[in-house]
Structure 1
Amino acid sequence: MAITTSALKNEYTKRAMHLLGIRKSAPIPKETPHYRMPALEAGGGHLVMRKYSGPEIPPAEWESLEYTTYATDPHTFFAPITSPTGRIELVGACEAGKKDLDCTWTPNAQRCPTIVAWLESIGARFGRVQLLRMSPNTLRECRWGLHLDVNNAANPQSSGWIVRVWLELTDDHSSALLVRRKAFDRSTETSIRLPKYQQAVVDSEKLWHGGHHKGPGVRYALIASFESSPELERWIASQLP
C-alpha cells in the first residue's frame, strides 16, 4: 500500500490499520511452562549489560558477510551466521521442520571467527544468529515497525524460554533499541542506547521492539537467540555493570 511509504507511515495509522483488520496484530505470547530467568523478568523483559571487552572485532567480520532480506523490508538486511538449514536464508525453524534451537553454522561463520568465539564464550545454548545491517531511519519509522518476535513456536516446553542477545558492532550515538510493554502505549517505551560493543538481553517475544538509527552511516549489530538457562544466567551476572 502506498500509505506505508508516505508521511502517513506512523503509529497512529498503524493502530487504525490494526483496528480495521488491514494489518494483522502479532499474537500475544501466553504463559507457558518454559523456564524464564528471574533477573530478566524482574528487569521488565530487558537487561543492559557492560560493553563487550574481548578482542577487537575487525570490520571485515561483518562487512564481508553475505546478506539477504525480507521482501517487505528493503532497508534492513541480515547475514545468517546460523540458520535452521545451514544456508544463507531467512527461514523459521517450523518452516524447516526443526525445533527453534536446532540451527547449523552457515558459510558466513567462517568469515567471522571473533564473533563465533564470543558466541561460544557465553557457554549457553543458542539457535539462530544473524548480523543486522540497518540503514538510517526516523523515530517515526521505528515506531511504525515495532513488533514482537516469534522465538518459541517450536520450542519444547521442557526447554528454557528463548530470548535475544544483542551485541552492537558500529559506533553511533544515535543507535538505540526501543522496547515497549504495550504496542500502542508510548508511556511503556524504553530506549536502550547502543554505542559500540554494547551488550543487552531482551525478551523480544514479550516486548515490542525496533531499531532506531539516525545515521548518517550504516549500523551493524549481532542478534542471537539464546535459551534461558542457568548457564545464560551466569554469563549475564558476569556482565552486569
Structure 2
Amino acid sequence: MGYIKSAALEETGYVVLDRYNNEIDPKEWLDVEYVDWKSSGDTRFAPLASAKGEIECNGFWNHKPPRTDKDGVWIDSQTAIAPTLTARAMEPGANVGRCRIIELQPNTYADCLYNLHQDDNNRLNPDGTGWVVRGFFNLTDDTTSYFVLRENRTDPSEETRIALPAGAQLIVDTQRLWHAAAHYGAEPRYCLITSWESGPELDAYIAKYNGVNKVDSYPVDQETLDAGQVEQERRIAARAAALAARGQQEVTVMSEA
C-alpha cells in the first residue's frame, strides 16, 4: 500500500516556507526546561510534546507500549512558558509526535559534515498512514549559519545549504536526507523541531506559506567546502580504523534524536 507522502517533498526531500516575521519573547526558548540529549553536535533539547507528557526526548518506540512517533502528549509546564511556539507547532493541524526546542553550541562546517545523519522517523509507522517528516523553525538570528542537506552523506555534489536567519522555516524528510547544521558565532542556536504526519493538513500548510522545493545554497567559499570534505573523510576513516582495531565494523544507523 505504501505511505501517504507530501508531493511537495517528492523531488528534493525538503520545502522552504515563507519566513516567520512576528516577534517572539526569547523566554519561550530560554526559560523552558532542557535535558541533555545528544543529536548532531553539542546539543540539549527542551521537549514541548513527548510520548507521555513527561520532560524527556526518547523515541516513542522505546516506551511501553512501543509506538510510532505520532500522537505526542503536550507538556503543560513547558507549553505554558512557550505558548507561541506551541501554537506554531499545532498550526498545520497535522498529527504531532515529538516537538522539541534544540540548543546547538557553535561548530564548523567540517563538524557539520561529520555530524550528518538521517532520522528514524517512521519506526513502527503503520503502512497506509502518513509518513513522518520534521519541521524546523529557526528562533535565533543565525545569519552566518546554515542547514546542510545531502542525499548521500559523503557526496558534496548533491549538497544544499539553507540559510538560518530568525524566522527561517523548512520542512524536511529527515529519514531520506542526511542533515545537520553548521553554526558559527559565540552563542547557541535555538530551533523548534516538530514531527508531523504527512497528509492533506500538512499539504495545505505548505501551500499556505508558499513552500518551495529548491533554493539557492547559502554561499560558502570553495576553500571551506573542500577542507570540510577532506576533514569529514578523515574523521570517518579514523573512526573506522578505531573500530577495526577493536575487531568491530562500522554500522550505519539512523538517529533516534
Normalising by structure 1, we get a TM-score of: 0.82
Q: 1:229 to 1:70 in 2, by over 3 A?
A: same
Partner of residue 94, structure 1? 61
Aligned counterparts, 1:214-233, within 5 A = 214-233=184-203
Does residue 1:128 correspond to 2:98, yes or no?
Answer: yes
Does residue 1:162 correspond to 2:129, yes or no?
Answer: no
User: Take 1:72 and 1:123, find their aligned partners in 2: how far apart are those partners?
Assistant: 27
Partner of residue 15, structure 2? 47
User: Take 1:73 and 1:49, find their aligned partners in 2: how far apart are those partners?
Assistant: 24
User: Take 1:195 and 1:72, find their aligned partners in 2: how far apart are those partners?
Assistant: 21
Partner of residue 84, structure 1? 51
Displacement of 1:52 after TM fit?
Answer: 1.4
Does residue 1:117 correspond to 2:87, yes or no?
Answer: yes
Displacement of 1:88 after TM fit?
Answer: 1.1
User: Take 2:16 and 2:192, find their aligned partners in 1: how far apart are those partners?
Assistant: 15
Does residue 1:57 correspond to 2:27, yes or no?
Answer: no
User: Take 2:167 and 2:179, find their aligned partners in 1: how far apart are those partners?
Assistant: 19
> Residues 93 and 102 of structure 1 are in contact (CA less than 8 Å); yes or no, is this contact kept in structure 2?
no
Structure 2 stretches lacking a partner, 5+ long: 212-257
> Residues 41 and 107 of structure 2 are in contact (CA less than 8 Å); yes or no, is this contact kept in structure 1?
no
Q: Which amino acid aligns with 1:84?
A: A
Displacement of 1:72 after TM fit?
Answer: 7.7
Normalising by structure 2, we get a TM-score of: 0.77
Q: Which amino acid aligns with 2:10?
A: E
Displacement of 1:63 after TM fit?
Answer: 0.2
Number of residue pairs the alignment of both structures matches = 208
Does residue 1:105 correspond to 2:74, yes or no?
Answer: yes
Displacement of 1:74 after TM fit?
Answer: 7.3
Q: Residue 205 of structure 2 aligns to a residue in which SS?
A: helix
Percent identity of paired positions between Structure 1 and Structure 2: 38
User: Take 2:122 and 2:166, find their aligned partners in 1: how far apart are those partners?
Assistant: 29
Once superposed, what is the RMSD of the aligned Cα atoms? 1.6
2:164 to 175, 194, 199: 194
User: Take 1:137 and 1:190, find their aligned partners in 2: how far apart are those partners?
Assistant: 18
Structure 1 stretches lacking a partner, 5+ long: 1-31
User: Take 2:190 and 2:107, find their aligned partners in 1: how far apart are those partners?
Assistant: 14
Partner of residue 38, structure 1? 7
Displacement of 1:98 after TM fit?
Answer: 2.5
Runs of 4+ with >4 A deviation? 71-74
Q: 1:57 to 1:147 in 2, by over 3 A?
A: same
Q: Residue 165 of structure 2 aligns to a residue in which SS?
A: coil
User: Take 1:60 and 1:145, find their aligned partners in 2: how far apart are those partners?
Assistant: 29
User: Take 1:45 and 1:90, find their aligned partners in 2: how far apart are those partners?
Assistant: 24
Partner of residue 28, structure 1? none
User: Take 1:108 and 1:118, find their aligned partners in 2: how far apart are those partners?
Assistant: 14
Cα shift readout 1:103-162 (whole Å, capped 9, x = no counterpart): 111231221011111122222211110101111101111101000000000211121100
Partner of residue 66, structure 1? 33
Q: Residue 97 of structure 2 aligns to a residue in which SS?
A: strand
> Residues 69 and 90 of structure 1 are in contact (CA less than 8 Å); yes or no, is this contact kept in structure 2?
no
Query: 168-177 or 58-67: which moved more?
Result: 168-177
Displacement of 1:70 after TM fit?
Answer: 2.9
Partner of residue 5, structure 1? none
> Residues 124 and 232 of structure 1 are in contact (CA less than 8 Å); yes or no, is this contact kept in structure 2?
yes
